[in-house]
Structure 1
Amino acid sequence: MDQSVIQPEKMELVVVTHVVDAITFWAQNVTEKINEKINVMLTEKCPGAPILMGRPSSHKVYGARYSEDKCWYRCTVQQQSEDKFYILYIDYGNTEIVSRSDLVELPEELQTTGLAKKYKFWRFHVSSEQDSPLFSQGKSFLHNMIHGKKLRVHKKSVCFDGTILVEAFQGNLDIGEELLKFKFAKVSLPGNRENSLPTVNLQECTGLWPSRNAPGELDTLGSSLGCMPKLRPIFSDQKPQIIKEQKTSVAVQPVEKLNAGQEPLAEIQSSKTDVNGQQLCSQDIEQAQNETESELQRMREVINDKDLEIKKLKEEGSAIQQHASLLGQQLEEAKLELQILKESYEKTKETEHNHPTTFANRISQLARKVDSLRKLRESSPCSTDEDHLLESITIIMNYRISMPLSSERLDLAWKAYDQTLENLRGCQTMAEVESLVNIRNEARGALLTAVDDFLQEVDKLPINERLDRLKKVASSLTAMFSSVMLVEQTEERSFEKFCEWKEHKQKKIKNVRKATDEALLALSSWATRLSKFSCLMEKTSLTEEDVAEGVDEILMNADKALCEELSTESSEQDDQEREMVCNAFNKAIQSIQREQSMLKAIRQKYEFNTQFKQEIQQWQIGPPKADELFAVKKRIRSLRSQLRWKLVEVSCLEEAEELDLPEILKKKEEIAETRNALFQEISHEKKQYIILCDLMKRGFPELPVIYPDADINGYMSSAGLLMKSLDRDMFDADPMRELSGRRPLLSTDFQGQKIVLKCYAVDEESEAKMLEQAAHYHRAQQQNPTTTVPLLALFCGKSDPLAYVMVPHYSNGSLRAIQKSSPLSSSEVRKVMKGVASGLQGLHAASLTHASLHPNNVFAIGREKGIVGDYDFTKTPEQRVSDSGMMAGSISLVAPELKQGQPPSPASDMYAFGGILLWLHVPDFSGTLESERQNVEFCGLGLDATLHKLLSKLLISSTRLSASEALKEDYFISVDV
């Protein structure tokens, strides 16, 4: 069928998950997004879920472990044979036979309808038997064509078993027509598998089957054939297209009759040219109706024969059922008779055991039991796992350390102190500072008292010893009970129940052993009496009655005691006892972990307060001052004045009519010394700022108000980047003309390091914006310092409207310069671009979009370490991305979505990253990246498979990777191997 006549809204998009035969397959709806969520829940729930017990329910959903990948999937049980289950994976459609150990119960939230549905091609049936080679070839043909791929299907009807009859298309290809072309399927209509029905005329005015007599007859016919699933009524908008398009009264025959009826069709076609064509058509219609009625009559006779056969089979089935019931009754009687014989045998055996036939046998049995009990007592360990657990519980419960009482008072004192600091931070005038400082000092004094109390109390606690003891106990318990799975929640009385059970068990064992010892002692006493009586060398007062008295009872008691102790010692724990031990172990581990956490918190609190006390004690005499900072600033002003004067002197000497070269060299040496001394003082100034900012954060927030000239807040707001003491005329800088196309760049030295000064023209508004963006970048760079270019300083010119950003100078280190002189190898590209991806990951994590990633702004240090360069802090991301330099060779690094008006984002950075990566491997690439159509092709470029996969994911907007996801790709993982 031509898919162009099908309305697009009637089509559904599915992805094929399993192929059954040449015309049947299972598929999932593409619009359903819950498959990943179900997989995650199965991974979490199934490993700990209970195994299926008893007979499964056909209405429930279970979890099964698939034999191929050992992962868990949802299924229903179709059939059971002993401990083997024939199952259907409801989210994919494939089947498998699994054992009971691979089936688990699923919670209620996973008891939902399967994601996969069963589809069959409409008006087709398989053209061969199941065991034939053509059947297997047809299944393989369809599997290779559609498995794992997306299809567009047009639903035609639904069978009563839920199978959906559809027309399927892959692009412009009609799948059903392909099956028909290769003879893997034949055309049929409902109820006609082997073309056994005659041609039926379809007319628009009379519905689908106009020539039939009654609906009841049609149903009977359809259900009797058994060649196709019985269909539900056709949808109102799914009438065959041949009915919708028919505009005349000429009858159209079904497709399955086209091959079988070529001659009638040729006659009809030739009759169209005849003058009496209308009459011939009427005769053909009448003839077809007559043939149909006769065929229907024949089919009714076949149905009656089938009904008789079914009735006969039912009678035979009833007789077989009665015979099976009789056999079952006989089997139950045989089982009962066998049980009676077994009980009789056990009684006979017990009688022979309790009443041996001879005295020798009784003594022999006693000797064997005594020997077994002796070995059992000798081999039994002095301390079992249960004993060790009981000992551990005693250590946990009886020697625990509680939170010091002074800890709560200390927390309250800290809360009051923090509030005074918060009030000071909000203070803006000197008038308020003095009173708030006094309040802060009072709160600090109270805090120090609470700190002393806490430290003294903690000093008396054996925290380290207790932590070591708990660590040893936890290690030994974990080693002994390694097979026990830890759980989050345990019963509250687990310790009490275990101790009661253990005490009862020990008492029972003690009583049993005592009874055995007494019985054996009585036997030994009797043996002693017998020995004395039997000795003829000595006289004895024992009589025959003394020796024979109670012999049977002594032997019986000894045997009974031995049997009871042997049974007690060799008995294993039942399920209830094992659960009790496991609960006690879990609670012991949890108690250890809780106490360890508390003790570590106490120790950390102790260390923090000790440090706080030491810091505060140094300010008891008076609060910190900014005198040192002001002294440094004064020395900076003096050195700067000296430098300026010396520069004037050199300038005058150089412009004199007679050059005094020795004097000029001497002055230049003095200038170099003065400049180095000036830079050292500026470094000292930065250290003082760091000290004051640290003091401000830790307890002296009033410093910016007391010393406004120090501009501490300005330094902090720039993240320590702004250095107001620096100025352009302090540097002996050379212009970098070859790189100064967009803005002036100056190369110079600063504190022994080669640096670059980037110059930006700013006004008051853009200066504030620049400071904000530079500070944001600087904070992000400090979190990931090895993969982004650092900002060394930022300052504004005092004699010009320029702002200067100081960065390290990477001579010929940009990717463009390296590729121009000595291109990187493939392995070097991997290492460099992995560093670039890490740099982008750090910037994106700080909510920064670079928007200026291009070969001039990416550096390769030592041809192995890639770092991301800074960007123009005076521009917005939208302005930066529109720069003409966003090119790598002939590849545009501007993402397609940006050309459509969307703002720059981390995804657009990753597009530029992918473009640079492609350029590094294929410098002369001149193709078109059609990412908006998701058709990026790199065939013929000779790219590595992992690189091809990564580029496809970077240059397609709908599935573009983030920086962190890109680093997990095989292309970059191989760098570490």
Structure 2
Amino acid sequence: MHMHVFKMDDGKEVNPPEGIVLKVEDVMGSHIEDPITFWGQPIELIEDLLKISTALTEICPFAAKVFGDPAPGKIYGGLYSEDQCWYRCNLKKMITNEKCLMTYVDYGNSETLKKSCIVELPEDMQYPGLASRFKLWGLQIPHNQDVTPFDQKIEEKLKQHQETELKLADDLNHAVETKIKSLTNKVEKLRRVRCEFNENHFGDDLSEAVKVITEACLCMLHSMKKLEDTWNEYNCAQETLQACNSMDDVHILIDKRNEVRSSLYAAADEFISEVEKLPIEDRVNVLKSLASSLDAAYGPYEVEHNSNEMFDQFFEWRDNKLQEFNNIKQRTDSSLQLLSEWFSKTMKFFDLNSSASLTSTEVINDVDAVLDQAEQDVCKELEISTTQKDDADIKIICSAFNKAMQMIIKEQDLLLVIQNKYEASIQFKEQVGQWLNSYPSVEDLLSIKRSVKNLKAQLRWKLVEKNNLEDLGSYDQVKVQEMKEEICRLRDDIYEEICREQREYERLGDIVQNWFPELPLLYPEAAIRTYMQSAGLLTDSLERDLFDPEPMKELSSKRPLVCSEIKSQKILLKGYSVDTATEAQMIERAAQYHRAWSVLKEESGLLPILYLFACKSEPVTYVMVPFYPGWCLKTVQAIKPLILEELCKVMQGVAVGLHTLHNLNIIHGALHPHNIFAVNRERGVVGDFDFTKTADQRNIASWMVADKLELVAPEVRNGQPAVPASDVFAYGCLLLWLNFPKNNLKTNSDGTPDVSELSIDPKMLSLVSRMICFNPDDRLRVDQLLEEDDFLKMKKPDIIQEGTKAPAPDEIIMNNVFTNETKSDLLGVDST
């Protein structure tokens, strides 16, 4: 329109300078505020408007939705409600938390938009709007005049004019090129999206998983309930038999147990047959793979109390989404197919050599509609394919996922139970099958016992013969030597038979424990219960007289102590005076110690107990252990101290020994240099202790010292019970003694060693300090000690105070400076 106008600046009228003639401009009006005020653009900006429109059509469908409230002054993309096209806009004011009054900066009009209709624009779109505010020159609106009808008429005229101008603009150069280019760009993006489109966008993998979970689910087996009931009945029958002490009742209970055992054998056989027909292992692998893939795609799993309706809701949601998506894809394919047919007709029309007779009307007719429909359908498919799921969609998928994981875990638990019961049933059939038609016999054990008695009688007779021959005064030395060799063979044979006896006891103990608890009652002469109560240590076949003992009275004034040799193995016999009560306690404590050793045996870090046996003529019980002469830590350090590498290995083994005991809640209470063995200078072994005493009684003994270093923990000295941390305190003090053997360590007021003036590796000092601290709750546990990175990675101290060269072994022997303590050390005797 050609008119005299004033351009407005921020809503204020700008008066032209006097003497300046107003020029006439070509302006395209886009929005009317009142009869004399409107928004518009100079006609030369029409092409810029078209470029902006094309750019927004490509950018906005894929742009990020606005996050939070729109920022004032920032340019956004807004979806205009009238034509569903994108235009640039900025915030005028917030209406509600979800609605904003936005102004279209290139046209001047405003509209209330939801935040979901506003998107972010890149930096290159952040420039001022093309619309300007204009006012007709020389006109004013009376204050009492109703301008509404006039506004409507003017706006309608301007809208008609705008439509006319837009139509003219559509005819500008390159209009078709711009439209085709826009469409081809979108089709190219759609082709890429279809190739890369995640098939799981609508939960395809979750859908397949739900089908696998629900359709092939393994439920409780028919034979499993019967097996469980019969097994419970069998266990009750076994427990009743085990508690029975009456010979009158035992046979009735045995018959009942055997009847139930036959039923259990049949139930186990039926269960095994049913399980072997099922693809248990395959199902386990399938569920494991499903759980892993679902957790990676939808995790983490949260426990929800969902019903199976969650699956129905998920499938309904999925079917609706797929139907909507497939319909859109079909419309897109149909629109592009129509466009392809138009291009085909156009090619034929422009091919002068083609025989096809087409008119220009047939070629051009409805081409705009075809292009517009194709672009609209392509944009819709792009929008659906790239739009993120809303909260409602996510909630449905998560609920279905959690329900699926719940069912997977439940079935996995069931399959694990089935597998365990299957293995137990196989083992039951294999082990008890041999006893269905027979009964275990103790005859082999009794035969071994008779053999031992016979060999003992032969040994005693030979000993009498040898003594009688020696009493004659003059005797044949060769014959006496032959007798000694035969006596030695008899002793070895007896020991071999006793070892056989122990193995037979072990076999029978297993049978009693698992299958026939009545055996000790039926065969009291076999003493099976005594064997089991002592963890296999106590035997009545051993006697002190069976050995060729070397008395060691000068080394132990407190109890009988002898050493001997059997089958080339040196052993030590420690005698403890007992009465009925202390003997039972001693056997129980020795059995606990032996069970701790049995877990790892040679790797346990403990000195093994070979046997326990009672003296028939005196109230003395003997403990039989291996003998390590010269290998106790006190002796080794006195003769030839361990080098750093050896010391680390030995003390590592000692820590393992304490850990073995503490794992079974056993407190050693007698950890001192006389009771630690550095076997071959490379293996640390913790010696046994006095089983007639409690840990508190052992821990306050006078030998709990290393030279002048007190090894008893402060809490025990203060009258509190010994705890595992008390052993740790002794261990930490031993480490100090090994590093500073001649250093007279001072003692703090709380009874702990003063290490403040020692020259020692800082890391090692920190570690030792946490073992010898006053409060037992603050001390390191042995398992924590073994896990310490710096454990025993000590450096040699820079200064060893009061250090002296240790005498050589031959010097000690030549000077004959044996004290009772030194002799005990050299022989590796536990002075406890």
State if a TM-score over 0.5 links the two structures: yes
- Taking the TM superposition and a 5 Å limit, the aligned residue runs for 1:394-405 are 394-405=211-222
Where do 5+ consecutive residues of structure 1 fail to align? Answer: 1-52, 56-328
Report the 3-state secondary structure (helix = DSSP H, G, I; strand = E; otherwise coil) of the residue aligned with 2:506: helix
Give distance in 2, aligned partners of 1:709 and 1:336: 99
Q: Give the equivalent residue in structure 1 for 2:476.
A: 660
Q: Give the equivalent residue in structure 1 for 2:579.
A: 763
**CA 1:667–1:473: 2 relative to 1, 3 Å:** same
* Shift in Å, 1:546: 4.3
Report the 3-state secondary structure (helix = DSSP H, G, I; strand = E; otherwise coil) of the residue aligned with 1:956: coil
* Shift in Å, 1:544: 5.7
- Taking the TM superposition and a 5 Å limit, the aligned residue runs for 1:836-847 are 836-847=654-665
Give distance in 2, aligned partners of 1:539 and 1:969: 93
Report the 3-state secondary structure (helix = DSSP H, G, I; strand = E; otherwise coil) of the residue aligned with 2:300: coil
Q: Give the equivalent residue in structure 2 for 1:705.
A: 521
* Shift in Å, 1:752: 4.2
* Shift in Å, 1:929: 1.9
What amino acid is aligned across from residue 103 of structure 2 in structure 1? Q
Give distance in 2, aligned partners of 1:579 and 1:625: 68
Give distance in 1, aligned partners of 2:106 and 2:479: 126
Question: Does structure 2 retain, via aligned residues, the 8 Å contact 1:790–1:808?
Answer: yes
Give distance in 2, aligned partners of 1:433 and 1:423: 9
Question: Does structure 1 retain, via aligned residues, the 8 Å contact 2:700–2:717?
Answer: no
What amino acid is aligned across from residue 799 of structure 1 in structure 2? S
Question: Does structure 2 retain, via aligned residues, the 8 Å contact 1:831–1:866?
Answer: yes
Q: Give the equivalent residue in structure 1 for 2:300.
A: 485
What amino acid is aligned across from residue 463 of structure 2 in structure 1? L
Identity %: 38
Q: Which has the larger radius of gyration?
A: 2
Q: 1:890 aligns with which of 685, 691, 708?
A: 708
Give distance in 2, aligned partners of 1:609 and 1:750: 44
- Taking the TM superposition and a 5 Å limit, the aligned residue runs for 1:904-919 are 904-919=722-737
Question: Does structure 1 retain, via aligned residues, the 8 Å contact 2:733–2:772?
Answer: yes
Q: Give the equivalent residue in structure 1 for 2:422.
A: 606
1:567 equivalenced with 2:383 (yes/no): yes
- Taking the TM superposition and a 5 Å limit, the aligned residue runs for 1:697-846 are 697-736=513-552, 739-783=555-599, 785=601, 786-846=604-664
1:432 equivalenced with 2:196 (yes/no): no
Question: Does structure 2 retain, via aligned residues, the 8 Å contact 1:890–1:925?
Answer: no
Give distance in 2, aligned partners of 1:540 and 1:894: 114
Give distance in 2, aligned partners of 1:395 and 1:331: 54
1:964 equivalenced with 2:783 (yes/no): yes
Matched residues, number: 647
TM-score by length of 2: 0.71
Q: Give the equivalent residue in structure 2 for 1:259.
A: none
Q: Give the equivalent residue in structure 1 for 2:269.
A: 452
Give distance in 2, aligned partners of 1:818 and 1:459: 62
* Shift in Å, 1:826: 4.0
Q: Give the equivalent residue in structure 2 for 1:50.
A: none
Report the more deviating stretch, 354-363 or 800-809: 354-363
Q: 2:239 aligns with which of 402, 406, 422?
A: 422
* Shift in Å, 1:787: 1.6
Where do 5+ consecutive residues of structure 2 fail to align? Answer: 1-66, 70-90, 112-128, 131-161, 796-832
Give distance in 2, aligned partners of 1:761 and 1:973: 40
What amino acid is aligned across from residue 627 of structure 1 in structure 2? E
Give distance in 2, aligned partners of 1:812 and 1:496: 80
What amino acid is aligned across from residue 376 of structure 2 in structure 1? K
**CA 1:554–1:813: 2 relative to 1, 3 Å:** same
Q: Give the equivalent residue in structure 2 for 1:925.
A: 743
Q: Give the equivalent residue in structure 2 for 1:471.
A: 288
Structure with higher RCO (Cα < 8 A, 6+ apart): 2
1:406 equivalenced with 2:170 (yes/no): no
**CA 1:903–1:367: 2 relative to 1, 3 Å:** closer
Give distance in 1, aligned partners of 2:472 and 2:649: 56
Give distance in 1, aligned partners of 2:754 and 2:395: 61
Report the 3-state secondary structure (helix = DSSP H, G, I; strand = E; otherwise coil) of the residue aligned with 1:957: coil
Q: CA offsets, 1:247-300, max 9 Å, x none?
A: xxxxxxxxxxxxxxxxxxxxxxxxxxxxxxxxxxxxxxxxxxxxxxxxxxxxxx
Question: Does structure 1 retain, via aligned residues, the 8 Å contact 2:459–2:490?
Answer: yes
Question: Does structure 1 retain, via aligned residues, the 8 Å contact 2:711–2:729?
Answer: yes
Report the 3-state secondary structure (helix = DSSP H, G, I; strand = E; otherwise coil) of the residue aligned with 1:907: helix
Q: Give the equivalent residue in structure 2 for 1:947.
A: 764
* Shift in Å, 1:477: 4.2
Report the more deviating stretch, 568-577 or 703-712: 568-577
1:862 equivalenced with 2:680 (yes/no): yes
What amino acid is aligned across from residue 872 of structure 1 in structure 2? D
1:620 equivalenced with 2:436 (yes/no): yes
Report the 3-state secondary structure (helix = DSSP H, G, I; strand = E; otherwise coil) of the residue aligned with 2:693: coil
Q: 1:550 aligns with which of 366, 373, 395?
A: 366
* Shift in Å, 1:529: 4.2
Q: Give the equivalent residue in structure 1 for 2:103.
A: 339
Give distance in 2, aligned partners of 1:344 and 1:54: 24
1:521 equivalenced with 2:337 (yes/no): yes
What amino acid is aligned across from residue 439 of structure 2 in structure 1? P
* Shift in Å, 1:612: 0.8
**CA 1:331–1:823: 2 relative to 1, 3 Å:** same
**CA 1:873–1:554: 2 relative to 1, 3 Å:** same
Give distance in 2, aligned partners of 1:666 and 1:462: 71
What amino acid is aligned across from residue 647 of structure 2 in structure 1? V
Q: CA offsets, 1:68-114, max 9 Å, x none?
A: xxxxxxxxxxxxxxxxxxxxxxxxxxxxxxxxxxxxxxxxxxxxxxx
Report the 3-state secondary structure (helix = DSSP H, G, I; strand = E; otherwise coil) of the residue aligned with 2:447: helix
**CA 1:628–1:345: 2 relative to 1, 3 Å:** farther
Q: 1:902 aligns with which of 708, 720, 741?
A: 720
TM-score by length of 1: 0.61
Question: Does structure 2 retain, via aligned residues, the 8 Å contact 1:490–1:583?
Answer: no
Give distance in 2, aligned partners of 1:346 and 1:861: 95
Q: Give the equivalent residue in structure 2 for 1:694.
A: 510
Report the more deviating stretch, 339-348 or 551-560: 339-348
Q: 1:680 aligns with which of 496, 499, 517?
A: 496
Give distance in 2, aligned partners of 1:337 and 1:598: 60
* Shift in Å, 1:404: 0.6
Report the 3-state secondary structure (helix = DSSP H, G, I; strand = E; otherwise coil) of the residue aligned with 1:937: coil
- Taking the TM superposition and a 5 Å limit, the aligned residue runs for 1:318-329 are none
- Taking the TM superposition and a 5 Å limit, the aligned residue runs for 1:257-296 are none
Q: CA offsets, 1:685-716, max 9 Å, x none?
A: 11111121111121211111110111111111
* Shift in Å, 1:855: 0.9
What amino acid is aligned across from residue 783 of structure 2 in structure 1? S
Question: Does structure 1 retain, via aligned residues, the 8 Å contact 2:531–2:537?
Answer: yes
What amino acid is aligned across from residue 452 of structure 2 in structure 1? I
Q: CA offsets, 1:639-689, max 9 Å, x none?
A: 111121122222233333332222222222322222222222111111111
**CA 1:638–1:518: 2 relative to 1, 3 Å:** same
**CA 1:531–1:894: 2 relative to 1, 3 Å:** closer
* Shift in Å, 1:530: 4.4
Report the 3-state secondary structure (helix = DSSP H, G, I; strand = E; otherwise coil) of the residue aligned with 1:339: strand
Give distance in 2, aligned partners of 1:488 and 1:780: 41
Give distance in 2, aligned partners of 1:475 and 1:877: 51
Give distance in 1, aligned partners of 2:168 and 2:485: 117
What amino acid is aligned across from residue 782 of structure 2 in structure 1? A
What amino acid is aligned across from residue 341 of structure 1 in structure 2? V
Question: Does structure 1 retain, via aligned residues, the 8 Å contact 2:764–2:792?
Answer: no
Q: CA offsets, 1:804-825, max 9 Å, x none?
A: 1011112212111111011123
**CA 1:860–1:523: 2 relative to 1, 3 Å:** same
Q: 1:635 aligns with which of 422, 444, 451?
A: 451
**CA 1:610–1:488: 2 relative to 1, 3 Å:** same
RMSD: 3.6
Q: Give the equivalent residue in structure 2 for 1:227.
A: none
Report the 3-state secondary structure (helix = DSSP H, G, I; strand = E; otherwise coil) of the residue aligned with 1:972: coil
What amino acid is aligned across from residue 790 of structure 1 in structure 2? P
